Structure 1
Amino acid sequence: MWSLIFLFIFSVSAEDSKTVELDSGWVEGKKYWNGDYYEFYGIPYASVPTGRDRFKAPLPVTPWENVLPASDTNKRCKQCYHTDASDEDVVLDGDEDCLVINVITPLIASETNPVPVLVYIHSGAFSGGTGNMAKFTYLARHDIIVVSFNYRVGAIGFACLGNEEIPGNAALKDQVAALRWIKRNINKFGGDPDKITLAGFSVGASMAELLALSKASDGLINRLILESGSALAPFTINRDPVSTAWNIAQAMGYNGTANIDELTEFYLNANIKDLALKSLNYFLPNSTFGFAPCIERDQGLERIVTESPLDTLRKGEFKKIPVLTGFSNMEGLSRSIKFGTWREEMNENFADFLPADLKFKTEDEKNEVINKIKKYYFNDKVINHESLKNYIDYFSDVMFKYSIMKSAQLHSSMSNNPVYLYEFSYVGKLNIQHNYMDRIKGASHRDQTAYILDFYGFTNNYKDLTTRDRMTTMWTDFAQYGNPTEYESALLTVKWPSYTEKSPMYLEINKNLQVKKGLFTEGFKFWDQIYNKYHWDPQPVSPEIILPRKDQITAEVLKAETKKQSLPKESNNDEQDIKGKQLISDNIENTTDNSSKGQSKNKKEEQNTSGENRMDKQPTLKSTTTKTKRGKDGKIVKEVITETNQKTEKADNDTNDTKDIKENPQNEKLKTDENIENQSTLKKTTTKIKRGKDGKLVKKVITETYQNGNKVQTETETKNTKDNK
């Protein structure tokens, strides 16, 4: 009898763990506490190259001999976050060797009874996050395997100089390595290697679609789920990654020349904490984040992104697989935290808030688009506290809705496989708590994902639980059948039709499920007209520095943004680690507004360097500005800046042979504005050249004369006949 009891106890104990033989060694997972599934955390799928190779593609994992306990839930790639102590108290966390994968497998799964596989790419604004930033409890209960993994983030994952040392897209190459690992090994866990659904939320969705469009993932994925993100979003592709790297390097203290080799050496030897810190704080008005994926240059190595994703979709040269995609009805709520300061700045210089994937040949074109936007969203009125809904609509549309709808339209028109489109508008306990809950009710960015994954939020509300059950059922049915409503039930009382251009049907997910027609039709038409004319088609990165670019965020802006727009000390976001050890952010949704009048003033001073003035294809126009100030030694220094639409040249007063220097033969230093009245006479001349409404070039000369503390300004305009010819 005792032997039987012992045998029974041993059998139960043995079932509490599961060992799996992989191509690199044995791993052991543990049964979840309620006995629904086994969990494997922290399995190495690739190795991070180190030293001078740290920006390159991952290496094969080193095999291990003993059974590896797959229980490390804290492994993450190098990233920074703020502690509760102070805004200046930044902690670097994570490991450089961080490429691990997590597998949640139900008890019924086996090699003889394989189940579908759902792979999630985490979010984090390309600068943070981890495969364990959410739990997959509710998905795994639907008899599917759920997989998540880490990839390199920030500069290490996304710096792109287009040369051998920093070719770009290291993070995407990590993700491809993870997908290849899954294809090779998932059957050992009981997964079906021919039913792999790739999913992502926010930037995770953007990268998931980039991978789906890439030939590098051929044969690795069979379905695609995109939640609040698209490869066509303005933040997905960095149009000028070399300038981004230059500006961020300057914010880190780089004082080298504009030489790609010197810049490369700086990054190869940069402190990892500095790189991580400068990577996590880009909550920028033009809907970008700093480091992001790039179009890779052909160097004879495997590339993930070889051309503009829009071009790939238009040509139809991508995997034709079922797609489920959509967004929340008020995605722009994620930016409501900036409403207090941005509404003033939008009135002063709306150009800063244009999406970064628009490009204009002239200022007139840009101003025409700005005027259209102001009329469409704000009725040509001043943006004030009553404009909150309009402000939310603008960012909802420009950052998410248009690009997601465009992607859905192209997938549908180029493929015979179905596209399922949704709008999530349910508001419950798991939604992100934003600043204007009393005034605005709607679902914010990534809210739908909180009802699919477990971001450590708890609810016992019946409607919340029903919404969660519906969404996890539809998502897992899609992974299983390629159809989210394969079977109707008391829970799923509707049949979700596919979306086509002729029959633009979609599913509204609220307290009830409703099939509707014509999602975002008017807004899509508005933005499609603009993008058809002014879309900035990204090109493969060129390993050269052309500085400065007025459409890039400068080092001064980055330094300011590092302090005021970094990850928050406190957050109501469900992506917050309950242990308080890590704060993960999409930066779209999760930024503390430390704005003030002083910051607003700084923003005005930065507008000239962070605007959207893109004149690349114009004839060479020239503008010379003379800046004067008094140095620490009390002497006067003059700096002459010659700007063209191609590059900017700076010259000190001892090297630049100009008329102004002749007028100052003693090479004295011109002084700062606050003390300028103490000088007897000073003159500052600024020459600007622009194209007038008649298409001809006009030169404006602005002369400012300071005499005994009084300022006199004169302006003259002349048409430059020679240049116009």
Structure 2
Amino acid sequence: MSFQVREYVDPRQRPVFSYKGIPYATPPVGSLRFKPPVRDYGWNRTQRFDRFGPECPQLDVQGVPEPGVSEDCLTLNVWIPQVPDGFQRFPVVVFLNGELFWRQRASRYPLEELSSEDIVTVSVSYRTNLFGFFTLQSSAAPGNLGLRDQQLALLWVRENIGAFGGDPRRVTLVGFSAGAASVGLHLVSPQSQGLFQRAMLVSGSPLATWAHMEAGEARRIGQEVTAIMGCRSGSDWEAVRCLQDQDFMRLLTAAQRILESRGRFHPVFAPVTDSFVVSRDQFLPEDPDRLLKRGDFVKVPVMSGVDADDGVLLLYQYPGTDRLTFSNLTEVLRRVVIPRLMDQQGLTRRRALLTGVLSYRYVDTVPPGSQQQMLTSFVKIFSDAYFVAPLYSFLDLYARSGADLYAYGYNGEGPDIFGNIVSLPSASHGSELLYVLGPSMYRDLVGGTYGAVQQRLGQKLRTYWKGFITDGDPVRGRYGERWDRYTLDQARVPGPLGSGPQYETATWVLLAVLLLLIVGLLVAFLLTRRRRRLKSDMAYG
């Protein structure tokens, strides 16, 4: 694929060059709707790539269409730290984001500040919801289209990133939320092996219940879509042809209707095992936990972590939860949240005992009448069920391979990037990205001043990221810092991020002791010289 692009400098902070809205696939419209992506073979004329492409079809949390969406959305964006000179090659980051595989906006996450650290960065738009994960569990509608979009983008990077000064042999695949779950699925997908050399999973795991659907349920939902749209008669192939003729807004409305009918607790459109297609076309031949248990995955260095209050994402999914009274929140937790989460996790044995334990942990320990603390507990149960427990499951299985593995927990207070007005004592879902990705994202999503405190934290976090991206090690011995690898013998998630590394206090104490020792030695030396001089004067006197 050969092409020419004009170079446009992004004026914020250190100048970097940005190329936005580059197509990596043929628009998935008409007969290509609900089909695997087809690569775009480029053009032979000068093109302008100075603005983001349209986002893929999606609805906001209120079920309202996002503005400016289009099915012609399979584009990527590239930021480079300098004009390619044909000699220097920079490490590459491919960044994936997403919200429960239901919506995704690449333009929400500017990568220019990260690129200014001498990294070529790439963000990817891919299909979500019904357009990315509709399946009839047959070759007519195989599913996993959003993951296949990502895979084709990675192939584009391997073939073309050298023209931008990137090194295709040093690609780190970074994912946040559903993007992190996607990264985990690429780790175990046979088709993705060799497309990246390191991986980072930020607040997401391929073993989360929302990251993978049971095959039978996925087909039932697919059939429900065809019934709602009046496309159920005939074969699967005929049903898909009928759906390809439908207005995409009507399809989104049908998807929203199905989501609401299931109470948003269970995944509606998500990745599935696709062993029903021929082996060369399988993205996920078995459930991800089985592939991990068997060690059947690409063994690359991995860095993975969670935020203290990742579960706040559910407040974004359920608007109005923060306005419920203490008694209403208590009732919802006891009668709705705990039973449904237990169903999701398959906790059927000794159910009464487990219900009592969970009720005690998340409800009974909250002081009576404290609506704020009950809301915090509401967030905590979703954090544990959807993020923390799946992370530990992934870490334990991945650690068996012996590959380099680093884990973290981020607990620094910070604004919520999803706009929740709830004040929580710890990090919300994706809070560290406000600092890793720098002032641009902070100003766009939060507003206000990106001051000296934010700059110091941002530089610290970017140092960790850059260390892993360039060397496979997030900490390189600064002031005695250590970040031990996660192993089965040392299975813990440390908290080196946030207000500072856990070793930083000890480091400064050590420096203070050394300084006092040096001062003491200097004083002793000066006093000794003075005594000797006095003795000398007395001898001559």
| TM-score where L is the length of structure 2 | 0.81
Retained in 2: the 8 A contact 1:346–1:383? no
The structure-2 alpha-carbon separation of the partners of 1:90 and 1:332, relative to structure 1 and needing over 3 Å to count, comes to closer
**1:243 aligned onto 2:220:** yes
Deviation at 1:467, TM superposition (A): 1.2
In 1: Cα distance, 2:386 partner to 2:410 partner = 16
Q: Which AA in structure 2 matches 1:377?
A: Y
In structure 2, distance between residues paired with 1:330 and 1:430 = 10
**Alignment check: 8 A CA contact 2:53 2:75 kept:** no
Q: Alpha-carbon deviations, 1:351-383, whole Å to 9, x = none?
A: 6531564336x6x65444433322333349999
Tell me which amino acid in the other structure corresponds to 2:248: I
Structural mapping, 1:119-138, within 5 Å: 119-138=94-113
Find the counterpart in structure 2 of residue 375 from structure 1: 360
Q: Deviations 1:581-630 (Å, cap 9, x if unpaired)? A: xxxxxxxxxxxxxxxxxxxxxxxxxxxxxxxxxxxxxxxxxxxxxxxxxx
Range that drifts further, 506-515 or 183-192: 506-515
- Tell me, in whole angstroms, the C-alpha distance in 2 between the residues paired with 1:383 and 1:501: 40
Q: Is the 8 A contact 1:332 1:392 kept in 2?
A: yes
Per-residue Cα deviation, 1:260-301 (whole angstroms, up to 9, x for no partner): 567545533332112234446858766434211111133225
Partner of 1:428: 414
Bigger strand share:
1
Are 2:296 and 1:317 aligned? yes
The structure 2 residue matched to 1:203, chosen from 175, 178, 192, is 178
The 5 A counterparts of 1:507-586 are 507-514=495-502
Task: Give the deviation of 1:344 after TM superposition.
Answer: 2.5
| Structure 2 unaligned regions, length at least 5 | 505-541
Q: Give 2:80's match in structure 1, choosing from 105, 118, 124.
A: 105
Matches for 1:159-558 after TM superposition, within 5 Å: 159-239=134-214, 240-248=217-225, 252=228, 254=230, 256=232, 264=240, 267-279=243-255, 282=259, 287-300=265-278, 301-336=280-315, 338=321, 340=324, 343-350=330-337, 352-354=339-341, 357-359=344-346, 365-379=350-364, 385=371, 387-415=374-402, 417-429=403-415, 434-437=420-423, 440-453=424-437, 454-455=440-441, 456=444, 457-458=446-447, 459-488=449-478, 494-505=481-492, 506-514=494-502
User: Cα–Cα, structure 1 residues 432 and 166, in superposed 2: closer, same or farther, change >3 Å?
Assistant: closer
Distance in 1 (CA, whole Å) between partners of 2:251 and 2:171 is 34
Distance 1:76 1:433 in 2: 20
How far is the alpha carbon of 1:136 from its aligned partner? Answer: 0.9
Distance 1:401 1:46 in 2: 35
Report if the CA contact (8 A) 1:118-1:197 is conserved. yes
Sort the Cα spacing of 1:91 and 1:446 in 2 relative to 1 into closer, same or farther, 3 A. Answer: closer
In the alignment, is the contact (CA less than 8 A) between 1:81 and 1:92 conserved in 2? no
CA 1:393–1:258 in 2, change beyond 3 Å: closer, same or farther?
A: farther
Structure 1: 5+ residue runs without aligned partners? 1-22, 517-725
- 2:396 alignment partner, SS class: helix
CA distance in 2, matches of 1:226, 1:473: 17
- CA shift, 1:194, in A, is 1.0
Partner Cα separation in structure 2 for residue 147 and residue 344 of structure 1? 45
Q: How many angstroms apart in 2 are the aligned matches of 1:27 and 1:390?
A: 51
Q: Is the 8 A contact 1:347 1:383 kept in 2?
A: no
1: CA distance between counterparts of 2:54 and 2:20? Answer: 9
Distance between the aligned counterparts of 1:381 and 1:512, measured in 2?
A: 30
Q: Displacement of 1:349 after TM fit?
A: 4.3
- Please state how far the C-alpha of 1:259 moved relative to its aligned partner: 7.8
Tell me the distance in 2 between the aligned counterparts of 1:333 and 1:498.
28
Q: Is the 8 Å Cα contact of residues 9 and 18 (structure 2) preserved in structure 1?
A: yes
Which sits farther off after the overlay, 332-341 or 447-456?
332-341
8 Å contact from structure 1 (residues 286, 352) kept in 2: no
Q: Cα 1:445–1:428, aligned 2, differ >3 Å: closer, same or farther?
A: closer
Amino acid at match of 2:55: R
- Between 374-383 and 203-212, report the one with greater CA deviation: 374-383
| Whole-Å separation in 2 of the counterparts to 1:26 and 1:75 | 21
Q: Secondary structure at the match of 1:224?
A: strand
Q: Indicate conservation of the 8 Å contact 2:275/2:284, yes or no.
A: no
* Greater alpha carbon shift after TM alignment, 285-294 vs 364-373: 364-373
Distance 2:336 2:450 in 1: 46
Secondary structure at the residue paired with 1:509?
coil
Letter in 2 for 1:275: L
- Quote the Cα distance in structure 2 between the aligned partners of 1:139 and 1:33: 14
Alpha-carbon RMSD across the aligned residues, in angstroms, is 3.0
Q: Summarize the Cα distance change of 1:512–1:63 in structure 2 as closer, same or farther, 3 Å threshold.
A: closer
Show the 5 A alignment for 1:35-184. Answer: 36-81=15-60, 90=65, 93-107=68-82, 110-184=85-159
* Cα distance between partner residues in 1 of 2:119 and 2:246: 43
Cα distance, 1:476–1:285 mapped onto 2, change above 3 Å: farther
Q: 2-side partners of 1:463 and 1:382: how far apart?
A: 34
Q: Distance in 2 between matches of 1:152 and 1:88?
A: 17
The question of whether the paired residues in 2 share the 8 Å contact of 1:213 and 1:309 is answered with yes
Q: Is the 8 A contact 2:181 2:204 kept in 1?
A: yes
Q: Which amino acid aligns with 2:128?
A: V
Q: 1:423 to 1:117 in 2, by over 3 A?
A: same
Q: Would you identify which runs of 4 or more consecutive aligned residues in structure 1 move more than 6 Å?
A: 380-384
Contact 1:110 1:189 in 2 (8 A): no
The aligned amino acid for 2:466 is T
Q: Deviations over 1:134-171 (max 9, x none)?
A: 11122111101000111112211110111222111111
Report the 3-state secondary structure (helix = DSSP H, G, I; strand = E; otherwise coil) of the residue aligned with 1:119.
Answer: strand
* Deviation per residue, 1:33-69 (Å, 9 max, x gap): 2562111111111113433431111112143121111
Tell me the distance in 1 between the aligned counterparts of 2:135 and 2:496: 39
How many correspondences in the alignment? 481
Instruction: Tell me if structure 2 keeps the 8 A contact 1:248–1:278.
Output: yes
| Contact 2:25/2:37 (<8 A) preserved | yes
Cα distance in 1 between the residues matched to 2:427 and 2:411: 5
Residues 6 and 46 in structure 2, CA contact (< 8 A), matched pair in contact too: yes
Structure (1/2) with the larger helix percentage: 2
- Structure 1: distance between partners of 2:135 and 2:177: 21
Larger radius of gyration: 1
Q: Deviations over 1:645-689 (max 9, x none)?
A: xxxxxxxxxxxxxxxxxxxxxxxxxxxxxxxxxxxxxxxxxxxxx
8 Å Cα contact 2:101/2:178 also seen in 1: yes
Mapping of 1:9-28 within 5 angstroms?
A: 23-28=1-6
1:381-420 CA-to-partner distances (Å, cap 9, x unmatched) read 99973533332221110010010121112212222x3211
The answer to whether the 8 Å contact 2:334/2:359 transfers is: no
CA deviations on 1:230-256 (whole Å, 9 max, x unpaired) are: 101110011121122234555x46595
Structure 1 residues 430 and 107, CA gap change in structure 2 (3 angstroms):
farther
